[in-house]
Amino acid sequence: MKYHLFQNKETEQLFANNKLATFSELWELESEWFEEPNQRRNGWSGVIKYSLTDDKGDAIPVFIKRQENHNHKTLLHPVKGVPTFRREYFNILRLQQKSVPTIEPLYYGERLIKGNAQSILITRSLEGYISFEELFELQKLPPADTLQKIMQTAGQTVRLMHNANYRHGALFPKHFFTRYSDNEVDVRLIDLEKLKWLPFKNRLSFNDLSRVIRRRPTGSRDEFNILIDAYLSYGEDLSNSSLARKLYALSQRINH
């Protein structure tokens, strides 16, 4: 087995207590699909949501993602490729090392059995969080000052990622998750399969932020302009740059 990695010893014990200590036990776990398997060529990839139980009897909801022969070709592996979950797992760790808020990985494993490449990625569920896509579908949005803080935090989070020279590559509103109250706001970035390190920051910003703008929910231009403002003003001031002009021009053209 190439990988059998738990987050730490405590996590490993948690899974053992739930009789899920091995790759085989995790692979054979039966539960309804949270996301039906996505078929691709000779492989597939699917997700279940499952609740572990800790020592106190409390539930710990997790997402268990399993895939078989669902690979991404790389320069080092141009023919067979590597599991896309491996790429996602190590990308999560990279952002964690740079203090960019994202999901919490609990386990990653791989094995080759009868010629089939199987992999499992398990992350803690973001309970109490909703995506920006869901946020703007609410009948009643959060108070204006809370919503402003959410969008400012999102802009700063993207800037933090770009300052570390990472491009998300698929940054849509559905990949921002937030949890908020009157006094606290948290924003996380998810879906890091396409995250990539690039040497030049000017190739990161417009690439990611233009996706956010183009996919923003109807009627949310002002709110997403707050995100842009926060991005441009976080750390080094970019408000007078050509990037700012391009972003605001694109925001103005998008009719929603």
pLDDT at 79 over 60: no
Which CATH fold topology does 130-253 show? Transferase(Phosphotransferase); domain 1 (1.10.510)
pLDDT at 75 over 80: no
| pLDDT given for residue 78 in this prediction | 52
Q: Angle between the 144-163 and 221-233 helix axes, to the nearest 10 degrees?
A: 40
pLDDT at 239 over 70: no
Distances (CA, A) of 206 to 98, 157, 199, 244: 21, 15, 15, 9
pLDDT at 50 over 80: yes
pLDDT digits (tens, 9 = 90+) for 216-238: 999 999 999 999 999 999 876 66
pLDDT at 76 over 70: no
pTM: 0.93
- Cβ-in-10-Å burial (0-12, 13-18, 19+) of 71 comes to buried
94 conformational bin, left if phi > 0, alpha if psi -120 to 50, beta if neither: alpha
| pLDDT given for residue 70 in this prediction | 79
- pLDDT, mean over the chain: 92
pLDDT at 254 over 60: yes
pLDDT at 176 over 80: yes
pLDDT at 31 over 90: yes
